[in-house]
Structure 1
Amino acid sequence: MKVHSMLSDAEFTSLMDKARSGDSEAAQKLVQLYEPEIRRAARMRLTDSKLRRIVDSIDICQSVFGKFFETAQSPKGIDLKKPEQLLGLLVTMTRNRVVDEHRHQTAQKRNAGDGVVEAAANLLVSDDPGPKTEIEMKDMLAKVRSRFTAEELEIADLRGEGLTWDEVAKRLQVSADSCRKRLERGIERVREEMR
């Protein structure tokens, strides 16, 4: 069922006013109503398989809602009167977030300072060897892998097998967000250690 058919304009305005004032129940209700559409919009735009290995629709959705509520609760706020206006705004934010993530990942690949470690770490979640020779990459990969904790290595290997964050989380019996953050922290730590 479409979001705009679930709420009258008056109900929507009331819910938005409460969410703007910091009412967590109102915010949760908005997330419940709009999350399926936003995740669907994110999945439709996450067409790059390399990007999908790094970020998924849950990541995009959480980021979009975080930014939306931050802006909605700011003094400037957001003035929306109809449920479909919010849907349009969130879908636009989703599209922009996917584009930003793609740009960020592309920029990271071009960054010469972090390029070697990033490429090696990316091998943990990608089959593409990148610009370095295979021998150099295998050597760097071995160095990176040796610096990961057993838990980080298990997450990286499962992602490297093509599992989604949800599938990794289910296997490890933790949340998808927790898995993603653990791997990100591990990659960041290794990058710092190898500088």
Structure 2
Amino acid sequence: MQTPNENEFADLIALVRKGDDAAITKLWNEYFQRLVRLAATRLPKNVRRTGDEEDIALSAFHSFIAGIRDDRFPDLSGPNNLWGLLITLTSRKVNAHLRHQMRQKRGGGAVRGESVFGDTVGEINRAGIGAVDGQVQSPDLHAELAEACDELLNQLPDDQLRQIAIMRMDGFLVDEIAERLELSKRAVERRLQLIRKTWSEAADDDAV
């Protein structure tokens, strides 16, 4: 299927905003399999389960359609801009999926950011979210925490670093991470140092 030009795209989005099923189906046919492939590239192979990438792509597509109908994407101007938005949505879904999966393997519990990464993840608190060691008390607070974690994870340059950060925040020990990812303990420690350095530099840039 040929990607619509800018005029066709504007008309298509207007129909989606009105809930037109044919327009939604057209976008589905154009983008869904691309989202599946994108999600597959973002999921570490050693934790990927059958159907994970399709579930993530479906969730990202539904969030996109809901956002269009609620006018949450005012800067959406064309097909190229749309693909960038879908990449962002899919990446967030992948991060959320990995956090959930690691938490399930660990047996549940809240993110333990400050106790693991010190002042770096403590930026979450200074953003006004509150303590992350205890149970999240409200849906709004939970959403803010998830968004803050996503922002931190998206600052990391590759999927393995994101996976290590997620596992560490969920309480995995360095030895456990090394065993699960088939890395040496020293390799995991070096990557944790890089994560801390990346987040620290990002925090310093924001403070300027």
Q: TM-score, normalised by structure 1?
A: 0.51
Letter in 2 for 1:40: R
- The runs of 4+ residues in structure 1 deviating greater than 3 Å are 75-79
- Does residue 61 in structure 1 map to residue 93 in structure 2? no
Q: Which whole-Å CA distance do the structure 2 matches of 1:46 and 1:23 have between them?
A: 32
2:46 aligns to what? 49
Q: In structure 2, what is the Cα distance between the partners aligned to 1:57 and 1:64?
A: 10
Q: Distance in 2 between matches of 1:112 and 1:99?
A: 17
Q: 1:72 to 1:78 in 2, by over 3 A?
A: farther
Residue in 1 that maps onto 2:78: 82
1:100 corresponding residue in structure 2: 96
Shift in Å, 1:79: 3.9
Shift of 1:78: 4.1
1:45 CA drift (Å): 0.8
Offset of residue 111 of structure 1: 3.3
Q: Does 1:9 align with 2:6?
A: yes
2: CA distance, partners of 1:56 / 1:44:
12
Q: Equivalent of 1:33, from 30, 42, 56?
A: 30
In structure 2, which of residues 19, 36, 41 is the aligned counterpart of residue 22 of structure 1? 19
Structure 2 counterpart of 1:175: none
Extract unaligned runs of 5+ from structure 1: 114-195
CA-CA distance at 1:58 after TM superposition = 1.1
Structure 1 stretch 53-62 or stretch 18-27: which is displaced more?
A: 53-62
Name the CA shift for 1:69/1:112 in 2 (closer, same or farther; >3 Å): closer
1:48 positional shift: 3.6
**TM-score, normalised by the number of residues in structure 2:** 0.48
Q: Hey, what's the Cα distance between the residues in 2 that align with 1:30 and 1:14? A: 12
- What is the percent sequence identity of the aligned residues? 37
Q: 1:117-128 to 2 correspondence within 5 Å?
A: none
User: What do residues 75-103 of structure 1 show as CA deviations (whole Å, max 9, x unaligned)?
Assistant: 54544111011111001111111111000
Q: What's the CA shift for 1:49?
A: 2.4
Q: Which has the larger radius of gyration?
A: 1
SS of residue paired to 1:22:
coil
CA distance in 1 between counterparts of 2:108 and 2:70 reads: 38
Distance of aligned partners of 1:19 and 1:110 in 2 relative to their CA distance in 1, 3 Å threshold: same
Equivalent-residue separation in structure 2 for 1:85 and 1:75 (angstroms) = 15
For residues 106 and 48 of structure 1, what CA distance do their matches in structure 2 show?
14
Gap regions ≥5 residues in structure 2? 110-208
Contact 1:71/1:78, CA 8 A, preserved across alignment: no
